[in-house]
Chain A
Amino acid sequence: MLGFLIQRVLQAAVVMLAISALVFVGVFAIGNPIDVLISPDVTQQIRLDTIARYGFDQPLWKQYLTFLDRLVRGDFGRSFVFNMPVLDLILSRLPATLELTLAAVLGATLFGVPLGMYAGYRPDSIVSKAIMGLSILGFSVPTFWIGLIFILVFAVHLGWLPAGGRGPTAGILGVEWSFLSLEGLSHLLLPALTLSLFRLALMIRLARAGMREAILSDYVKFARAQGLSEGKVIGGHVLKNISIPIVTVFGLEFGATLAFAVVTETIFSWPGLGKLIIDSIQSLDRPVMVAYLMLVAFLFIMINFLVDIAYAALDPRLRTGRA
């Protein structure tokens, strides 16, 4: 297990390095950031000074090394627009996004897995067909449109829930959260629901497919032949066996949901990272773009890493076999 861990950590480091190069080349080398930084009518001297100050006169590989060096020391530079350290900016927006994403993914898993297992257990019943219809709808309806409908129905027509914003927050350990008050929860509900529908559809699919294959397998037949109750067969054996793909997708989808929060946050004016990246793309705030992308990449690598570890813990065969 220790060898497995070391190998995975090394792999993750290599991938992170590759991504940092891609992000650097992608964001910094295309177009000229100097045109964003200074107005076009300054003197040639100021222009050259600024270029030298940001190191844009250096060859690309040297710029990349400087960038890496600062990155390792946790220095992401300053936002051109907000004129504050990018790291502080991102950390101040992170809790809002994390809260939204967690609520969405947890909700989708808690409802999606039982629904999907039922649909796989009785594939021909009316209820199962309705569940599957719901899941296809969840796949097909774009997130932003669902958000609009929710706002129209629940905020404009019924007036039950607020149409946007985060509402009051309460602090725990210096971080502000919405879910601690009823008012905050009411702000969280619509965006979280919007964000979770696609994941819900996915979880239903996954649990149904797993169930349909498991129910025909030998271990289920033997468990039944042993005289175990149907509840024990499903809860004890099937659930354990289909949990591997579910854990993977839970992990991977957590990252994807974090990314998709971009859309949801824009619609509901949720003050998180997604809104920040859209704003910084529109204002060409490169340090923020780079930092955000690196952060998301890092998160994805961490998630992949944790999923691998969880795999190994759930399925002993993976520990010794292929890496």
Chain B
Amino acid sequence: MIGLKILDRGTPLGRFWAEFCENRIALVSFWIVLIVSALAVLAPLYAPQDPYDIGKLVLTDARRPPGHVGAGGYVYWLGTDAQGRDLLSAILYGLRISVQIGIAAGAIAFVVGGTMGATAAFLGGRVEVLIMRFVDMQLSFPAILLALVISAVLGQGKWQIIAALVAAQYAYFARTAHGAASAERAKEYIEAALSTPLSARAVVFRHLLPNCMPPLIVVATVQVANSIALEATLSFLGLGLPVTEPSLGMLIANGFQYMLSGRYWISIYPGIALIVLILAINLVGDQIRDQLNPRLKR
């Protein structure tokens, strides 16, 4: 077995990567995530049209089917929307916003939730009970409602929606970090670290948290995918981003009214882009989870 050779020599990360590569679907998904994210972030550099430069839109080209050759002699590969926007460009820009928000919300929730969970496990006693009760209470409440209400209260905007997503999702990180940290807390290396002059904060952040990383990484992948889906849902309901920053959810919502008259492409293609991205992230997360679950090891 070629895999075994790498297993023997490599670093822990190298071994992990080698095992990851054995699942072809996960590997392909991993590359899809990387490529789609790169395409999304670099969209302004190569997209055929700046979909939000109103001066460039041609209204006579509105609602054209995929493959239509527009007034400027240029081909709308995925058709155009009600304002004559090239849908391909709109999707690339929309992906950009979705990825940005997903990653920002996931990262902030990671830091907030991870810190809360690890601190609760480290301190123990009343603080732990208080924090974890609160987290449990929130977990029993559906994330979408929480995000809905918070974004309704905060109003529309990029940071408002990120705040709503973080508030709705940090609890998953807190729960996971608390579980992992409680197990690590009892181990001897933490006792050893505490007996040195290191501050409690240094022990939590430099020793406890890094050892809780594996399960947190699994939660992080899933939550980034969830944030992207949740943001799209909120934008679809008209509670997410302002019209000036149209994410994929808003593109889909705009196309909804034309769907019943058979102009399917305005909603369908942004939806496919969204699903490919979320599906790929979930498949990567799945493989990482399976690899980290010792109970499934044979």
Contacts and interface: CB of A to CB of B under 8 A. Distances in A.
A156 B260 contact: yes
B247 to A, nearest CB: 12
Contact of B237 (A148, A155, A266): A266
B145 interface: yes
A136 B25 CA distance: 12
Contacts of A31: 153
Contacts of B282: 136, 139-140
A136 B278 CA distance: 10
Contact of B233 (A144, A282, A289, A297): A144
B260 A289 contact: no
A262 B140 contact: no
6 contacts: A142-B274, A148-B259, A149-B268, A255-B142, A260-B142, A289-B149
B142 A140 contact: no
B283 interface: yes
Contacts of A282: 238
B54 interface: no
A145 B271 contact: yes
Contacts of A19: 137
4 nearest A-B residue pairs (beta carbon):
A259-B142, A140-B279, A145-B271, A281-B152
Contacts of B268: 148-149, 152
B238 A145 contact: no
B74 interface: no
A63 interface: no
Contacts of A266: 237
A212 B229 CA distance: 29
Contacts of A148: 252, 256, 259, 267-268, 271
A289 B274 CA distance: 30
Interface residues of chain B: helix, strand, loop or mixed (majority): helix
A141 B252 CA distance: 13
**Which size class do A's interface residues fall under?**
35 or more
Contacts of B225: 140
Interface of B: 137, 140-142, 144-145, 148-149, 152-153, 225, 229, 232-233, 236-239, 249, 252, 256, 259-260, 262, 264, 267-268, 271, 274-275, 278-279, 282-283, 286, 295-296
Interface majority SS (helix, strand, loop, mixed), chain A = helix
Contact of A212 (B237, B286, B296): B296
A296 B145 contact: yes
B105 to A, nearest CB: 16
Given A143-B233, A145-B271, A296-B141, 5 more contacts: A18-B137, A144-B236, A148-B268, A156-B259, A262-B148
A220 interface: no
A263 B271 contact: no
Contacts of B271: 142, 145, 148-149
A256 interface: yes
A189 to B, nearest CB: 18
A136 B260 contact: no
B275 A30 contact: no
Contacts of A252: 140
A152 B266 CA distance: 12
A87 to B, nearest CB: 20
A140 B152 contact: no
Contacts of A278: 148, 237
Contacts of B148: 262, 277-278, 281
Nearest to B277: A140
A145 B282 CA distance: 17
Nearest to B234: A263
A142 B233 contact: yes
Contact of A136 (B153, B233, B286): B286
Nearest to A293: B149
B237 A263 contact: yes
Given A260-B142, A260-B144, A141 B275 contact: yes
Contact of A263 (B153, B236, B283, B296): B236
Contacts of B141: 296-297, 300
Interface in A14-35: 15, 18-19, 26-27, 30-31
A152 B267 CA distance: 10
Contacts of A139: 282
Contacts of A142: 229, 232-233, 236, 271, 274-275, 278
A296 B146 CA distance: 11
Nearest to B283: A136
